[in-house]
């Protein structure tokens, strides 16, 4: 009888995810002889058997891979047969490690069953895990991914755990975080001074939550603050202590049935919620729901997740409809994840701390997703997804890209893979810059990447740009902000060649020194040309105009009415005192501290303030988010007038007619929601119109949509369907955020391609 032998090489996330035991079992199923081992590049197999069985074995490797595995390539070649008997797992071969590390993952169905099985030795044990589940990225201290290089090194395995760990037929074979109540980490409940609270930690923690208290909970990637989401007083107290006036709090619910009591969930959202990554998904609120109104005021959505760790299952099951689970930080600081530091920073907020002694080595905030056209649209890509790689359009030299200023994320590339870091936060102080430096060092270490070039934003004053300038010996490539946005969307869609980028966001340093943000860019990774933009207006007071949308109202109206703007009978203008009126006017007349901007975000802010959504914001993007919620209440396809002017091959989108009409509608007391909706329709229509004009002269038919404004679903849908209807090929983000959290990917590819 014929016997075949093949050598198979597998790359991707194939180590630390139960891959070798899976191969071992598969070999048994198909009567295959040979061996499997981990090497530097991933997994190597030699398999020998009847030809049909060998083919079936090869097919099933991809078809039935374990849940946490992510195979990026399988190659096989025929070699001489050796007449081997049996199948073995061989010891790992050394060498440079190119294998990829798995992200952190929620408890699997098997472990969950054991967690609630009174006869299991891990009954109610909050640190249960196996090769198919548990913490990964957050506990790794170095490579290779092995117990001594995780924060589990401090816990020697007991005999029972070791037997499971060493048995290839066991679900816990080489599960590095394996532990049990006899040998593993333990739960504790402490107060702000670190003093242990007597009694069972879980029971006492639940008692606190039920009584309306605030509990800090140590999770996978950092501390959360937990509060009963249906308790109005508790939620109000959390807002007061956290100094967070309006930004929505995330919720965690025990299961999908509980979520359905307060939010609307479709099939795709259910699948994303229940996936092992356990992200926060934005879901429309149910009209009548038991959640305290202060959880997400003036917002049409709840950010909801399912339990992401065994401890969360223990807290939620049979206890609450939902808990608030908000990042353990004071507004805008990085998430707290080291025990002493967390207690120090959260001592004024939390009543008690539910802690444990398994150290978190790398922080990871919760990921946040919104579903758009059946695909995930990331608002934040962090825990559960990091450090999964993004495939780049081509192999390039190794780049470190340091991102922008807000929602900082760094990216390291190796060959044709981009590795995005966890969400680091707004890079406005030394603490976040330090987190960025740690993220870079950690990724370089565990991925064994030595970058050859560093890419950064063109803005010279961003802390990330200053950091890049200080990296000795690395050539620097500055990348224009919106070019980076466009490139990130092209890269994740594998596009090459000339593309039109519609990039709408808040703030980005332009080539001409003005602030860009409503841009139509034509080009590729190497070069681009600005061929259209929103008409620029001054921002009175610079950054102050970002925090106070009312200033933008005055600027846009000044652009139309000049000094006569204060004659308009608009409620929002009535808020401006005489002194401020004269001050803003002087700034606008003389251009004092009023940089020019073509930002789409500022236009949204201004319209939001005009219709009375708000004149001041307490978190980034708030005015636009609330304007979108208002617009969703109306149903109209009507648009406002606008015009497009052509100057030097560069088209200017002029929205003055629209704003004039908005003023008229406000004075005619049209419903605010209708005005908000018409505004969204108009921006989408105008953007489509401008793309068509660019296509007329350049013939470009491929469009990418990027920039923070595309977090707005109404706007994104409007532009997407407008362009599709006109026959454009339209690409959006699915793997990295359209906001500045995706910027580093674009920077990395621009710098990598320029040096190819």
- What are the φ/ψ torsions at residue 625 (nearest 5 degrees)? -65, -45
Per the CB < 8 A criterion, the answer to whether 254 and 317 are in contact is yes
Assess 329 for contact with Zn ion (CB under 5 A): no
Separation CA 117–CA 120 (nearest Å): 5
Which one of Zn ion, Fe ion, none is in contact with 736 (Cβ closer than 5 to 8 A by kind)? Answer: none
Separation CA 251–CA 303 (nearest Å): 6
CB of 398 to Zn ion, least distance (A): 35
When the beta carbons of 309 and 715 are compared against Zn ion, the nearer one is 309
Closest alpha carbon to 111 in 201, 205, 179: 179
Which one of Zn ion, Fe ion, none is in contact with 490 (Cβ closer than 5 to 8 A by kind)? Answer: none
When the beta carbons of 620 and 740 are compared against Fe ion, the nearer one is 740
When the beta carbons of 111 and 205 are compared against Zn ion, the nearer one is 111
Q: To which H or E segment does residue 228 belong?
A: strand 223-228
- What are the φ/ψ torsions at residue 528 (nearest 5 degrees)? -150, 165
CB of 521 to Fe ion, least distance (A): 13
Helix axes 672-698, 622-631, angle to 10 degrees: 100
When the beta carbons of 309 and 662 are compared against Zn ion, the nearer one is 309
Three-state DSSP state, 463? helix
Strands 499-509 and 417-420: unpaired
CB of 150 to Fe ion, least distance (A): 36
Q: Which of 10, 23, 32, 108 binds Zn ion (CB under 5 A)?
A: 108
Residue whose CB is nearest to Fe ion in the complex, by number:
505
CB of 310 to Zn ion, least distance (A): 9
Assess 139 for contact with Zn ion (CB under 5 A): no
Separation CA 307–CA 254 (nearest Å): 6
Strands 537-538 and 453-457: unpaired
Assess 133 for contact with Zn ion (CB under 5 A): yes
Assess 152 for contact with Zn ion (CB under 5 A): no
Task: Using CB under 5 A, count the residues that bind Zn ion.
Answer: 10
Per the CB < 8 A criterion, the answer to whether 211 and 318 are in contact is no
Per the CB < 8 A criterion, the answer to whether 457 and 465 are in contact is yes
Q: To which H or E segment does residue 7 belong?
A: strand 4-13
Which one of Fe ion, Zn ion, none is in contact with 740 (Cβ closer than 5 to 8 A by kind)? Answer: Fe ion
Closest alpha carbon to 258 in 203, 318, 172: 318
Which one of Fe ion, Zn ion, none is in contact with 231 (Cβ closer than 5 to 8 A by kind)? Answer: none
When the beta carbons of 503 and 700 are compared against Fe ion, the nearer one is 503
CB of 486 to Zn ion, least distance (A): 41
Separation CA 399–CA 612 (nearest Å): 46
Which one of Fe ion, Zn ion, none is in contact with 99 (Cβ closer than 5 to 8 A by kind)? Answer: none
Interacting stretch for Zn ion, rule CB under 5 A, among 41-49, 133-141, 143-151, 421-429?
A: 133-141
Q: Which of 143, 183, 202, 274 binds Zn ion (CB under 5 A)?
A: 183
Which parts of this chain interact with Fe ion (CB under 5 A)?
Answer: 505, 740
Separation CA 201–CA 475 (nearest Å): 53
Which one of Fe ion, Zn ion, none is in contact with 658 (Cβ closer than 5 to 8 A by kind)? Answer: none
Interacting stretch for Zn ion, rule CB under 5 A, among 34-42, 173-181, 284-292, 429-437?
A: 173-181
Three-state DSSP state, 97? coil
Which one of Fe ion, Zn ion, none is in contact with 238 (Cβ closer than 5 to 8 A by kind)? Answer: none
Per the CB < 8 A criterion, the answer to whether 57 and 107 are in contact is no
Give the end-to-end CA distance of the chain in Å, rounded to a whole number: 51
CA 61 to each of CA 14, 23, 39, 54, 161: distance values in angstroms, whole numbers, following the listed order: 11, 7, 17, 11, 28
Assess 130 for contact with Zn ion (CB under 5 A): yes
Assess 105 for contact with Zn ion (CB under 5 A): no
Assess 111 for contact with Zn ion (CB under 5 A): yes
Q: To which H or E segment does residue 72 belong?
A: strand 70-79
When the beta carbons of 131 and 499 are compared against Fe ion, the nearer one is 499
When the beta carbons of 16 and 517 are compared against Fe ion, the nearer one is 517
CB of 428 to Zn ion, least distance (A): 39
CB of 372 to Fe ion, least distance (A): 18
Interacting stretch for Zn ion, rule CB under 5 A, among 6-14, 71-79, 154-162, 619-627?
A: 154-162
Assess 176 for contact with Zn ion (CB under 5 A): no
Separation CA 522–CA 738 (nearest Å): 18
679 Ramachandran zone, left/alpha/beta (phi>0; psi -120 to 50)? alpha
Q: Which of 3, 56, 153, 158 binds Zn ion (CB under 5 A)?
A: 158
Interacting stretch for Zn ion, rule CB under 5 A, among 60-68, 103-111, 304-312, 407-415?
A: 103-111
CB of 508 to Fe ion, least distance (A): 5
CB of 182 to Zn ion, least distance (A): 5
CA 628 from chain centre, in angstroms, equals 21
Assess 471 for contact with Zn ion (CB under 5 A): no
CB of 154 to Zn ion, least distance (A): 13
- In sequence order, what E strands does 383-527 have? 389-391, 399-401, 411-414, 417-420, 453-457, 476-479, 499-509, 515-523
Burial class (CB in 10 A: 0-12, 13-18, 19+), 255: middle
Q: Is the dihedral of CA 404, 405, 407, 409 positive or negative?
A: positive
Per the CB < 8 A criterion, the answer to whether 89 and 36 are in contact is yes
Per the CB < 8 A criterion, the answer to whether 410 and 436 are in contact is yes
Which one of Fe ion, Zn ion, none is in contact with 433 (Cβ closer than 5 to 8 A by kind)? Answer: none
When the beta carbons of 219 and 425 are compared against Fe ion, the nearer one is 425
When the beta carbons of 505 and 605 are compared against Fe ion, the nearer one is 505
Q: Which of 64, 117, 166, 182 binds Zn ion (CB under 5 A)?
A: 182
CB of 133 to Zn ion, least distance (A): 3
CB of 601 to Fe ion, least distance (A): 9
Which one of Zn ion, Fe ion, none is in contact with 505 (Cβ closer than 5 to 8 A by kind)? Answer: Fe ion
What is the four-CA torsion angle of 633, 673, 246, 338, rounded to 10 degrees? 60
CA count, 13 A, side-chain hemisphere, 555: 34
Separation CA 242–CA 254 (nearest Å): 25
Interacting stretch for Zn ion, rule CB under 5 A, among 100-108, 285-293, 349-357, 423-431?
A: 100-108
When the beta carbons of 511 and 585 are compared against Fe ion, the nearer one is 511
When the beta carbons of 114 and 339 are compared against Zn ion, the nearer one is 114
CB of 145 to Zn ion, least distance (A): 17
Which one of Fe ion, Zn ion, none is in contact with 111 (Cβ closer than 5 to 8 A by kind)? Answer: Zn ion
Assess 180 for contact with Zn ion (CB under 5 A): yes
When the beta carbons of 228 and 505 are compared against Fe ion, the nearer one is 505
Which one of Fe ion, Zn ion, none is in contact with 132 (Cβ closer than 5 to 8 A by kind)? Answer: Zn ion
Contact residues toward Zn ion (CB under 5 A) are 108, 111, 130, 132-133, 158, 161, 180, 182-183
């Amino acid at each position: 009888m014929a016997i075949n032998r093949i050598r198979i090489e597998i790359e991707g996330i194939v180590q630390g995810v139960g891959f070798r035991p899976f191969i071992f079992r598969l070999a048994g199923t198909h009567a295959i002889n040979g061996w499997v081992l981990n090497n530097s590049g991933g997994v190597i197999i030699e398999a020998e058997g009847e030809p049909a069985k060998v083919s079936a074995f090869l097919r099933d490797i991809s078809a039935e891979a374990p849940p946490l595995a992510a195979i990026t390539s399988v190659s096989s070649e025929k070699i001489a047969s050796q007449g081997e008997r049996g199948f073995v797992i061989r010891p790992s071969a050394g060498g440079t490690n190119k294998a990829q590390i798995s992200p952190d993952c929620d408890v699997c169905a098997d472990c969950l069953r054991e967690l609630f099985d009174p006869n299991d030795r891990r009954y109610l044990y909050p640190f249960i895990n196996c090769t198919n589940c548990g913490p990964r990225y957050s506990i790794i201290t170095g490579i290779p991914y092995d117990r001594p290089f995780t924060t589990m090194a401090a816990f020697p395995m007991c005999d029972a755990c070791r037997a499971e760990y060493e048995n290839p037929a066991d679900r816990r074979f080489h599960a590095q975080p394996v532990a049990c109540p006899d040998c593993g980490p333990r739960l504790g409940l402490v107060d702000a001074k670190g003093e242990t609270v007597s009694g069972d930690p879980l029971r006492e923690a639940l008692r606190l939550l039920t009584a309306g208290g605030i509990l800090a909970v140590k999770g996978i990637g950092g501390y959360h603050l937990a509060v009963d989401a249906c308790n109005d007083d508790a939620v109000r107290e959390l807002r007061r202590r956290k100094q967070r006036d309006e930004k929505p709090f995330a919720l965690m619910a025990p299961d999908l049935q509980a979520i359905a009591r307060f939010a609307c969930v479709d099939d795709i959202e259910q699948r994303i919620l229940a996936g092992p990554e356990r992200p926060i998904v934005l879901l429309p609120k149910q009209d009548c729901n038991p959640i305290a109104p202060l959880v997400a005021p003036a917002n049409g959505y709840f950010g909801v997740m399912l339990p992401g760790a065994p401890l969360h299952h223990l807290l939620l099951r049979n206890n609450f409809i939902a808990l608030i689970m908000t990042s353990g930080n004071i507004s805008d600081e990085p998430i707290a994840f080291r025990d002493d530091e967390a207690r120090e920073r959260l001592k004024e907020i939390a009543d008690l701390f539910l802690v444990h002694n398994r150290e978190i080595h790398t922080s990871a905030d919760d990921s946040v997703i919104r579903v758009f056209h059946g695909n995930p649209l990331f608002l934040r890509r962090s825990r559960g997804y990091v450090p999964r790689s993004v495939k780049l359009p081509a192999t390039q030299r190794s780049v470190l890209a340091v991102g922008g200023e807000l929602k900082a994320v760094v990216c390291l590339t190796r060959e044709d893979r981009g590795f995005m870091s966890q969400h680091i936060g707004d890079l406005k102080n030394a603490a976040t810059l330090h987190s960025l430096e740690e993220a870079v060092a950690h990724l370089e270490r565990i991925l064994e990447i030595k970058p050859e070039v560093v890419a950064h934003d063109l803005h010279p004053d961003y802390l990330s740009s200053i950091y890049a300038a200080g990296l000795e010996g690395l050539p620097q490539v500055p990348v224009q902000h919106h070019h980076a946005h466009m490139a990130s969307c092209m890269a994740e869609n594998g596009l090459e060649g000339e593309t039109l980028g519609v990039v709408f966001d808040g703030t980005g340093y332009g080539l001409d020194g003005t602030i860009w943000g409503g841009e139509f860019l034509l080009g590729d990774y190497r070069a681009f040309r600005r061929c259209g933009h929103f008409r620029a207006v001054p921002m009175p007071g610079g950054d102050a105009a970002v925090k106070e949308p009312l200033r933008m109202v005055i600027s846009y109206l000044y652009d139309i009415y000049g000094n006569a703007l204060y004659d308009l009978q608009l409620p929002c203008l009535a808020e401006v005192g005489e002194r401020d009126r004269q001050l803003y006017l002087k700034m606008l007349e003389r251009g004092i501290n009023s940089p020019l901007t073509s930002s789409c975000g500022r236009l949204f802010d201004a319209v939001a303030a005009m219709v009375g959504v708000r004149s001041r914001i307490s978190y980034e993007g708030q005015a636009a988010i609330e304007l979108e919620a208002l617009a969703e209440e109306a149903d109209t396809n009507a648009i406002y007038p606008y015009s497009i002017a052509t100057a030097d091959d560069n088209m200017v989108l002029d929205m003055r007619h629209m704003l004039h009409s908005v003023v008229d509608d406000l004075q005619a007391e049209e419903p605010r929601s209708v005005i908000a909706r018409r505004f969204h329709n108009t921006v989408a229509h105008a953007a489509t119109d401008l793309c068509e004009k660019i296509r007329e002269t350049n013939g470009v038919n491929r469009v990418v949509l990027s920039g923070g404004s595309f977090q707005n679903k109404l706007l994104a849908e409007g532009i997407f369907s407008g362009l599709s209807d006109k026959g454009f090929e339209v690409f959006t983000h699915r793997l990295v955020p359209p906001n500045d959290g995706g910027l580093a990917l674009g920077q990395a590819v621009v710098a990598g391609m320029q040096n190819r």
